[in-house]
């Protein structure tokens, strides 16, 4: 339908999650047909954010600061770690005001068919944290999908001989669902009713 620079814009917009061809086309037309300064401000905001945010060296959380605000907060519990897939999941849990420990962001879930193994989910870094002996509970707050279940089972097996309690979120979260699209009440209840992975 489109060509030239407009086609390039549509192609790049389609790379965003949840954006299909028609939505990308509508957004592209909107961006070039409205006030030019608004579009340029958006472009500058994207550029500034992409250049400013890095992964925290301790927990992998996307952050403007090093270490991130969670790792540098001395009031948070240092003996409980909540393992999540991505930074957004950590903020969703944080909004519940139920958890005061530290986080660890995997950034991926195990998926051997896609070439995602233990190294790609930063397992060596997580293992080092657990081996420090300071952690007494690991909360596996991962999506109840096939990849999430595989990752939970892998991590539970790796840490079962450690002197640490391993829990996961209640299965009130539907299998195949995403934490991102779960209501606050469902997520809060699942978090409160987490249970041991190994028992």
Question: How many distinct structural domains can be found in the chain?
Answer: 2
Is residue 176 located within the same domain as residue 106?
A: yes
Is residue 174 located within the same domain as residue 77?
A: yes
Q: Supply the CATH number for residue 95's domain.
A: 3.40.1360.10
How many Å apart are CA 114 and CA 72, to the nearest integer? 34
Is residue 72 located within the same domain as residue 133?
A: yes
Q: What is the DSSP letter of 166?
A: E
**pLDDT at residue 196, rounded to an integer:** 78
CB 56 within 8 A of CB 67: yes
Is residue 17 located within the same domain as residue 83?
A: no
Is residue 32 located within the same domain as residue 78?
A: no
Is residue 132 located within the same domain as residue 46?
A: no
Is residue 184 located within the same domain as residue 132?
A: yes
CA atoms within 13 A on the CB side of 109: 18
**pLDDT at residue 188, rounded to an integer:** 75
Is residue 76 located within the same domain as residue 23?
A: no
Is residue 85 located within the same domain as residue 104?
A: yes
**pLDDT at residue 185, rounded to an integer:** 66
- Enter the pTM of the model: 0.80
**pLDDT at residue 173, rounded to an integer:** 67
Q: What share of the chain is helix, strand, coil (3-state, %, to 5)?
A: 45, 15, 45
| Residue-number span of the structural domain to which 89 is assigned | 62-196
Residues in the chain where the model's pLDDT stays below 50: none
Is residue 17 located within the same domain as residue 100?
A: no
Is residue 100 located within the same domain as residue 174?
A: yes
The angle subtended at Cα 94 by Cα 132 and Cα 187, nearest 5°, is 105
Cβ of 15: how many Cβ atoms within 10 Å? 8
Task: Note if the bond before 95 is cis, omega within 30 degrees.
Answer: no
107 domain residue, yes or no? yes
Is residue 44 located within the same domain as residue 72?
A: no
**pLDDT at residue 128, rounded to an integer:** 95
**pLDDT at residue 26, rounded to an integer:** 95
Q: Residues 3-44: pLDDT tens digits?
A: 789 999 999 999 999 999 999 999 999 999 988 899 999 999
57 domain residue, yes or no? no
CB 61 within 8 A of CB 70: yes
Say if strands 165-168 and 195-196 run parallel, antiparallel, or are unpaired: antiparallel
The angle subtended at Cα 118 by Cα 113 and Cα 123, nearest 5°, is 155
**pLDDT at residue 58, rounded to an integer:** 95
């Amino acid at each position: 339908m489109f060509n030239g620079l407009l086609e390039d814009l549509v192609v790049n917009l389609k790379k965003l999650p949840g954006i299909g061809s028609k939505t990308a086309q509508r957004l592209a037309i909107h961006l070039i047909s409205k006030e030019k300064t608004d579009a340029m401000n958006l472009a500058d905001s994207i550029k500034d954010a992409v250049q400013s945010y890095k992964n925290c060296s301790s927990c992998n959380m996307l952050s403007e600061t090093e270490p991130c605000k969670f790792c540098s907060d001395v009031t948070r519990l240092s003996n409980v770690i909540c393992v999540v897939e991505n930074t957004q999941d950590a903020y969703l849990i944080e909004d519940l005001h139920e958890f005061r420990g530290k986080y660890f962001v995997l950034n991926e879930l195990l998926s051997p068919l896609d070439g995602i193994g233990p190294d790609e989910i930063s397992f060596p870094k997580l293992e080092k944290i657990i081996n420090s002996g300071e952690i007494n509970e690991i909360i596996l707050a991962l999506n109840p999908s096939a990849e999430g279940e595989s990752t939970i089972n892998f991590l539970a097996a790796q840490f079962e001989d450690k002197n640490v309690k391993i829990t996961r979120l209640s299965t009130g979260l539907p299998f195949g669902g995403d934490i991102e699209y779960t209501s606050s009440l469902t997520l809060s209840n699942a978090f409160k009713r987490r249970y041991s992975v190994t028992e």
